[in-house]
Amino acid sequence: MTAPKPDQPRDRPEPLVVLRGVSKVYSEAGRRHTVFSNVDADIQRGEFVALLGRSGSGKSTLLNLIGGIDLPTAGTLRVNGRDIGALGEKHRALYRRAEVGFVFQFFNLIPTLSVTENLSLVLELNGVATPAAQDRIDAALEELGLGDRGGQFPDRLSGGEQQRVAIARATIHHPLLVLADEPTGNLDVQSERDVLRAFRRLPDRHGVTLIAATHSTDVAGSADRILTLADGRLEEQPQ
C-alpha cells in the first residue's frame, strides 16, 4: 500500500491524485471478482509515474477510475481536490474532456481526419477557437518533431509518428493529467525512445502529471516513481 508520508508539512499542496481505500469489484455470472482492494496512493503534480503489473492485474482499471471512465466500488478518489466518484455522469464527462488526456496502445486517431483535424477536434470541444487553436497545434507538432505532418492522414505516418500525434492530442488542451495505457506496446525500439522523450518533456515543460501503465522496463526507467499492482495491492517499487 502506498500511503502518504505522515511528516508532510500541513501547508504542502494536496497531491493532484489521492486514492484512499479504493477498491474495485466486478460481478460476473453471480460471482464477485476483486480487481484490487483498499488501495492508497498519492501522486504529486508534475510527476511521471509508471504503473507496472502483469496482464489482468488491474492497471487499465485503475487508469479508468482515475480518468472518470469507471467508478470505484469503495473508497475515495480525488483529482485536483474533487471526489471523482461523487461526480455525476455529465460532470465526469466534462472532467475527462477538459482536465484529462488519454494515450492508448493503438493510437485511436480518427483515420478520416488529418493530423491537424484530429487535434482541432479536441480544441473545438474545449472551446478554443481559431486562430489560437492553429497556433497551439503548430507549436505542439513542432515540439514533437512533426511540424511537416499536419496535413497528413494517420495511415501515412509511422507507428512512432502516430503515437506522437496521439500525445499531442492528449495534451493540446492543456490538461492537468495524462493517462497512458501501454503507450509503447506496438512500437519498435527507436519509436519507443522518441515517445519516451516526448513523455519526459511533459512534466518538465508543461507541468503535466503523467501516469503510464506499462510492461516496458524502458518506460519504467524513465519515470520518477514506479507503482506495482500485484495480488490486488498497490506497492511502491524502489528504483
Q: Burial, 192: exposed, middle or buried (Cβ in 10 Å; 0-12, 13-18, 19+)?
A: buried
Residue in the block written with cell 496512493: 41
Chain length of the chain: 239
| The pLDDT of residue 27 | 86
Q: Which amino acid is located at 197 in the chain?
A: R
Tell me: pLDDT of 143 over 50.
yes
Tell me: pLDDT of 8 over 80.
no
How many CB atoms neighbour CB 11 within 10 A?
5
Architecture of 45-58+90-237 per CATH?
Answer: 3-Layer(aba) Sandwich (3.40)
| The pLDDT of residue 239 | 64
| The pLDDT of residue 10 | 56
Q: What is the pTM of this model?
A: 0.89
pLDDT in tens, 42-56: 999 999 999 999 888
Residue in the block written with cell 467508478: 71
What are the structural domain ranges in the chain?
45-58+90-237
Q: Which regions of the chain does DSSP assign to beta strands (E)? A: 17-28, 31-43, 48-52, 74-79, 82-83, 100-104, 177-181, 209-213, 225-230, 233-237
Distance CA 158, CA 149 (A): 11
pLDDT in tens, 46-86: 999 999 998 888 999 999 999 999 999 999 999 999 999 99
